[in-house]
Amino acid sequence: MPETSTVTVTVPATTANLGPGFDCIGAALSLYNRFQFSRLEPSATEKLKITVTGKEAAKVKTDDSNLAYQAFLKLYDRLNQSPPPVAIHIDMQVPLARGLGSSATAIVGGLVGANELAGKPLSQVEVMQLAIELEGHPDNVVPALLGGCRLAASNTPSGSWEICDIPWHPNIVPVVAIPDFELSTAEARKVLPADYSKADAIFNAAHLGLLVRALETGNENWLRCALQDKIHQPYRQSLIKGYEGVQQAALNAGAYEMVISGAGPTLLALTDVANAVAVEKGMAAAWMEFGVKAEVRAIGLDTQGAQVSL
């Protein structure tokens, strides 16, 4: 294929885990980061130029340690090719270190952008495999690339992945409450135990199975039960100021249940269309009582995944 000179990749935010689906389930949300890659002339003195606009732009690295650029390099490395000099413009709408998959958008954006500039030598499955390698687990990068709600299961011993699309009932509305403080994934992983009891493993297996059916059918009783978890949430709640108060407010306003989005601190309530506004207001007001300002909004499921425009 002929080489392209400029490509823009739009990648959705994601919410991962959804309660019992730790490190294996995620859903794409209608909130986006955009990554534009433009080839520079081979004679250009600069091999890399990164500019950033949008929310928290000042926090994004603009040297060669930038995650989107690291992913860009990874793809060319896989092709055994030298990467071209490139200008990258990033428009950030997904907040950083909040549990909404901002790092996954950078990884997917960098890989897809590089693949397009190189003439699309890799298939979507090969790009996905690279994204999982870079991120370390599939729950955010898979829905960021493919859209929708996805369950990923590793296929041992081959090391490949089986990706299962999970239907999402149209009456289930995600409400995200994004606080004005950060929580690093590394910090959130540190509080997790090294081992779990058989009882906790069985509990999560049962609840994840129920969650898949609950999301598909919209069955309210199933959803209320299915979002419970014993693998990560009990340990991470203490890292999120006001967690119990916000959870109670969400339930009082009609949410089925509230979970931690990804590693947090964003909290995700699932509710129905009729109660979405009340849940938004309730969660925001509850967090204000703890002195935390939060952006709370009902949001749509993204079904497209990473989109390319040339």
All structural domains of the chain with their residue ranges: 6-166, 172-298
Does 6-166 carry CATH code 3.40.50.1820?
Answer: no
Q: What b-and-e string marks burial along 22-40, b requiring 16 or more CB atoms within 10 Å of the CB?
A: bbbbbbbbebbbbbbbbbb
**pLDDT score at 193:** 95
| Residues 217-239: tens digit of each pLDDT | 999 999 999 999 999 999 999 99
Is the pLDDT at 1 greater than 60, yes or no? Answer: no
**pLDDT score at 2:** 53
| Residues 90-147: tens digit of each pLDDT | 999 999 989 999 999 999 999 999 999 999 999 999 999 999 999 998 999 999 999 9
| Residues 13-25: tens digit of each pLDDT | 999 999 999 999 9
CB within 8 Å of 84: residues ≥ 6 apart: 39, 40, 42, 117
| Residues 172-210: tens digit of each pLDDT | 999 999 999 888 888 889 999 999 999 999 999 999 999
| Residues 62-85: tens digit of each pLDDT | 999 999 999 999 999 999 999 999
The domain defined by 172-298 folds into Alpha-Beta Plaits (3.30.70)
**pLDDT score at 294:** 95
